[in-house]
Chains A and B, each alone.
Chain A
Amino acid sequence: MIRALIVDDERNAREELEAMLQETGAVEIVGSCANAIEAIKMINRERPEVLFLDIQMPLVNGFELLSMIDDDIMPHVVFVSAYDDYALKAFEEKTLDYLLKPVEPARLEKTLEKLSSRLHSGSQPAYDTSELRQIPCVCANRIKLIDASQLIFARSDLSGIHLVTPQGEYFTELTLKTLETRTPLIRCHKQFLINIAQIDEITLLDNGVAEIKTLAGHLVPVSRRYLKNLKETLGL
């Protein structure tokens, strides 16, 4: 059974695809999400093997969603869209396949065959994911897009990942690893990323650790492991 996740903002479209995939008997649906935030959470938790991804979605579209997924858990991607004139061309070779809505069962079979053989050969999907300009954050009952250049630092704790900006703190489903690779933030601690443009001063402490004071006055720890890396980045 192939473990699949469906992402589409229209409920009817999701249900139809769920039904069709189930009819094939070859797929186990691990989830069905209406937006990017839900999808990232689900991907991080369920690690699906394949993503059936709608392109046109509110706030964060299908392409943008891809750049929010960690490389090491990147599933194979099948785009599903009603727009055959979309900028799919660029992604055509990178993605496993793309399907046009309404989806024909025979066409879907072919996609699954292709998928099976890929999974069998164990090839890792690698998509040319672009730099993240905006990071979707959950705040109360809406989603806010935070400009990546606005970040001061990011930290993780038991409740999840928090982004600190001059406007306040936001919760995001993206992992530190994704943020580290796709934004200008650099790692300074196992649980912290820092925007070096926001550093005011670095105090070296005992035991080879350090502490960063940001321009806004936040204190961010630097672990021994990442101090060297930080110094190199700063040209020290």
Chain B
Amino acid sequence: MSLILALLQQMSVFLVIGYLFSKSPAFRPLTGETLRTRHKIFLYFIFSAFSIMGTYFGLPVQGAIANTRAIGAVLAGIIGGPLLGTAVGFTGGLHRYTLGGFTAFSCGVSTTTEGLIGGLVHLYILRKGRPEQIFSPPIAFAATFFAEMMQMLIILLLSRPFSDAVHLVQAIALPMMLANSAGAALFMSIMRDQKSMYDKFGAIFSARALKVAERTLGLLTKGLTPQSAKQIAGIIHEETGVGAVSITDHERILAYVGLGADHHREGQPIASDLTIRAIRENKVIYADGVHEFFTCAISPQCPLGSALVVPLRVDGDVVGTIKLYEPKNKLFLNLNRTLGEGIAALFSDQLLRSRYEEQKNLLIQSELKLLQAQVNPHFLFNALNTIIAIIRKDAGQARELLLHLSNFFRKNLKRSGDFSTLEEELDHVGSYLKIEKARFEDRLEVEMTIDPGLLKLRLPTFTLQPIIENAIKHGISGMLGKGIVKIVARVHEQGACIDIEDNAGTYCDQLHGGGLGMNIVDRRIKNLYGERYGVQVSCKPHEATLITILLPFQGGTIS
């Protein structure tokens, strides 16, 4: 009984060392999912040390040593597999052998065997596909218990004189089996807790990173502006809990949130050496506050002592920086350092995307301008020619046509805004059609059926004009007989529909190439509202071309 207590006592010392180990950086390799060879070699030394310590802490009993050597060997086997287990067991065993005594050899053999048993348990758990059970204390208990039984058996088999061996086993079997098993289980439990703490830590870290990503998503779609920078800096400050956060472009502070905001002012030129270096060298600069200090260039009273400066890059060029600061009395967490670099990478991606979007929009805008400019001369000269002819016959009509022409051009010029109502679009198109009607006379007939509920529908400016012009320029004007253009605006289950139909049916050949004007209209709508909307063309040769513009619509207005 006293032996059990004594063994438990020395096991406690052992556990304290184990506990300290679990808190030390040496424990880190065990937190990963898989062990590399490098880690295994490291663990070999650690567990071998445990095993040897177990022997040293042992109590001399009848010319042998009651000990906790088995714990190191079995655990090494369970955690690292048969090879590591056997190696640790052999090392611990060899050490025991050198200490002598009538069980020296049998103990050497049995410790090696125990390491191997641990390794076999490891293989068994993996084969069952339950790797999470490797750190299970009950399994460690059972494995060690079994391994100790084997040890007793080996002592009986190998130690001579046999009677002494029997005597010894009677005395130490139970205490050692219990003490080693309980020790192994407790040791495993310490490691498991520590490991799960690391996992939880990782989970918190991931959650925080994801939260920053989620909250800032889309903020940079308009590029790096003081507004977007302010919002982002606020979010990072909140989520990381660092002393202060600042965002700069390559010259100025765009946003500053946190400690020292009294003298770190937005709009100021960049003063910090660290930032200037980060921009110039296009690399992350880290002043940890221990080896390298952040020294405020503006105010000596500045509470900040450490900083991380991460460049924001677009296409490899630095367009700004994100800076995280901690005050002098606080350590800059490694976690925040990693997080900061990750956030900067995320923003760089967003900025690249926003630049792409911006260029795409610019392209569409300029194409639209080109289109507006391109339309006019042809239309203008034909219109003027028609009006000049009409002046001879009907000055009143000519006057009216000139007013329509002026309305058309005024609207064309003024329409720099992105959106108009359907009513405005129809007015613009109406003037255009009045002039074309005068030009083509009986050869052009226009039928309009507009749902009055749609008159306030907002749509991108210059949506109808290019399509109606196409219908006349490429359709009706090539017809000998009567050309009819039908314009219908109706509410459809998927949105608002505007149909433009002509009876020429000449668009079929161009269907795949598509007219420039129509393509731009389509792309603008898709860009604004998504792929579901846009322009659809269907054509029956020599009979009809139907263009359908689908726009989102809910109860009269569109945001």
Contacts and interface: CB of A to CB of B under 8 A. Distances in A.
A16 B378 contact: no
Interface in B378-397: 378, 381-382, 384-386, 388-390, 392-393
A35 interface: yes
Contact of B439 (A12, A100, A102): A12
Interface stretch (B121-129, B179-187, B237-245, B478-486): B478-486
Nearest to A18: B389
Contacts of B381: 82-83, 100-102
B384 A10 contact: no
Contact of A11 (B378, B388, B441): B441
Contact of A82 (B385, B392, B440, B441): B385
Nearest to B442: A11
Nearest to A56: B477
Contacts of A219: none
A217 interface: no
Q: How large is the interface on A (under 10, 10 to 19, 20 to 34, 35 or more residues)?
A: 20 to 34
Nearest to B383: A82
Contacts of A15: 389, 392-393
B384 A102 contact: yes
| Chain A interface, >50% SS class | loop
Interface in A186-204: none
Given A82-B378, A100-B381, A16 B389 contact: yes
A56 B384 CA distance: 16
Contacts of B479: 58
Contacts of A126: none
B163 to A, nearest CB: 120
B392 A143 contact: no
Interface string A114-156: 0000000000000000000000000000110000000000000
Contacts of A13: 385-386, 389
Given A12-B390, A12-B439, A58 B385 contact: no
A19 B388 CA distance: 11
Nearest to A35: B480
Contacts of B443: 9
Contacts of A143: 480
B477 A16 contact: no
A162 B413 CA distance: 54
Nearest to B478: A58
A102 B388 contact: yes
Contacts of A103: 385
B447 to A, nearest CB: 21
A233 to B, nearest CB: 36
B385 A102 contact: yes
Interface string A79-104: 00011000000000000000011110
Contact of B386 (A12, A19, A58, A83): A12
A11 B443 CA distance: 11
B371 interface: no
Contacts of A19: 389, 392
Contacts of A56: 477
Which residue, of A10, A19, A35, has the highest number of chain B Cβ atoms within 10 A?
A10
Interface in B358-390: 378, 381-382, 384-386, 388-390
A216 interface: no
A82 B386 CA distance: 11
A101 B438 CA distance: 16
Nearest to A17: B389
Contacts of B386: 10, 12-13
A13 B441 CA distance: 12
A102 B405 CA distance: 15
A11 B437 CA distance: 12
A59 interface: yes
A102 B390 CA distance: 12
Contacts of B478: 58-59
Given A58-B480, A102-B381, A16 B388 contact: yes
Interface centre among B381, B440, B479 (most CB of A within 10 A): B381
A56 B481 CA distance: 16
Nearest to A10: B439
A58 B477 contact: yes
Interface in B398-450: 438-441, 443
A147 to B, nearest CB: 15
Nearest to B386: A12
Interface string B444-462: 0000000000000000000
Contact of B389 (A12, A58, A59, A142): A12
Given A11-B441, A12-B438, A83-B378, A101 B392 contact: no
24 contacts: A9-B443, A10-B382, A10-B440, A10-B441, A12-B385, A12-B386, A12-B439, A12-B441, A13-B385, A13-B386, A15-B389, A16-B388, A16-B392, A56-B477, A58-B479, A59-B478, A59-B480, A82-B378, A83-B378, A100-B381, A101-B382, A102-B385, A142-B480, A142-B481
Give me the 6 closest cross-chain CB pairs, A-B, nearest first.
A16-B389, A12-B389, A82-B381, A101-B385, A102-B385, A82-B382
Interface of B: 378, 381-382, 384-386, 388-390, 392-393, 438-441, 443, 477-481
Given A13-B389, A16-B392, A102-B381, 4 more contacts: A15-B389, A16-B388, A82-B381, A100-B381
